[in-house]
Amino acid sequence: MDTKLTTTNHDTDVVGLTYVYPVISRRVGGLSVGINFNTNNACNWRCIYCQVPDLKLGAAPVLDYALLEFELRYFLNEVLRGDFYERFGVSEANRVIKDIAIAGNGEPTSLKEFANAINLVGEIATEMGVFPDSNFVLITNGSLVHQFKVQEGLKVLNAYGGEVWFKFDSATVVGRALINNTAQNCKASMENLILASQLCHTKIQTCIVNYKGQGLSVVERNAYLEFLSELKKTDVEIKDILLYTLARPSLQPEAEDLQAISLETLNDFAEDIRLLGFNPSVNK
């Protein structure tokens, strides 16, 4: 039998493909078909909890559309009509395609022909009967939403009934520099978040880690809640907040200083968020 797929094994090379990889996702409760545009392990941020090996600063390389189409058709056929689940020891409860997720080893919206790539995935998944029963998800740090090419891609994603998971881990300058290694300020993130929500259904995803035993500080907690309070005033259609913490070891230099935050802390934070009128969910 091939390597067993579990919620803690997210090896993107497990099926030997370039652009397509399977994940048994703890957040969606089944098979997530991952699409990796960043085959060069390049990203414009460097989150300290990132599990990408040899992560480097940069953008996605030129996409081989023919190879992406071949791999996605091949893989979906293996799942829908082949013995994929048996070969990889997937439990009966998880034998369902919950979503196709544009994620991978870097910031996917950095792909030059982003909209065309989203459309290709959407066309294939629809033709093969995966959509509309399964979700279409873009997981992004949201830093490039102000770019026209990204906005065009979000429009395409929306046309397929998809949604954006917009990363927002900290609402302080210090926290964003530490956790995400980005100089992009909260104002820019707020503007991009609002724009994303106007183009496609959008959720906020937040990873909370325990760095050097500091936990979730009062400063970070209050700043995050204040950010949500300001967001609420804009009347945007954003309700869902996806809270989670470390599930697998980081592959960044800060790894030895990182631990998962406690479930109690996540649940307490979720309750604060709920009181603001949002709908938080917690994944340990």
* Residue 38 near residue 20, CB atoms below 8 Å: no
Report which of residues 212 and 247 the model is more confident about.
Answer: 212
Residue at 259: amino acid letter: Q
Indicate whether 242 pLDDT > 90: yes
pLDDT for 51-87, tens place per residue?
Answer: 999 999 999 999 999 999 999 999 999 999 999 999 9
Question: How far does Cα 54 stand from its chain's mean position?
Answer: 19
Give the model's pLDDT for residue 4. 60
Q: Which residues of 98-134 are buried (b: 16+ CB within 10 A; e: fewer)?
A: bbbbbbbbbbbbbbebbbebbbbbbebbeeeebbeeb
User: Which residues lie below 8 Å from residue 157, measured CB to CB, with a gap of 6+?
Assistant: 118, 122, 136, 138, 163, 164, 200
**CATH superfamily of this structure's domain 20-283:** Aldolase class I (3.20.20.70)
Bridge-based pairing of strands 201-207 and 163-167 is: parallel
How far is the C-alpha of 214 from the C-alpha of 225, rounded, in Å? 18
Chain-centre distance for alpha carbon 140: 6
Q: Residue 200: name the closest of 141, 160, 249 by CA.
A: 160
Q: Are 229 and 276 in contact (CB under 8 A)?
A: yes
Say if residue 50's pLDDT is above 80.
Answer: yes
Q: Which residue has the higher pLDDT, 262 or 28?
A: 262
DSSP code for 216: S
Closest to 163 in 3D by CA, of 131, 129, 208: 131
Q: How far, in Å, CA of 45 to CA of 59, rounded?
A: 10
* Domain map (residue ranges) of the chain: 20-283
CA distances from 82 to 32, 85, 88, 239, 281 (A): 17, 8, 12, 38, 34
Cβ(108)–Cβ(102) below 8 Å: yes
**Averaged pLDDT, 266-274:** 98
pLDDT of 253 > 80? The answer is yes
Which residue is listed with tokens 């980081």? Answer: 250
Q: How many angstroms separate the CA atoms of 269 and 204, rounded?
A: 14
Which band of pLDDT confidence, cut at 50, 70 and 90, is reported for residue 27?
low
SS3 state of residue 16: coil
Total count of residues recorded for the chain:
284
Give me the mean pLDDT over the 170-190 stretch.
96
pLDDT-based confidence at 25, cuts 50/70/90? confident
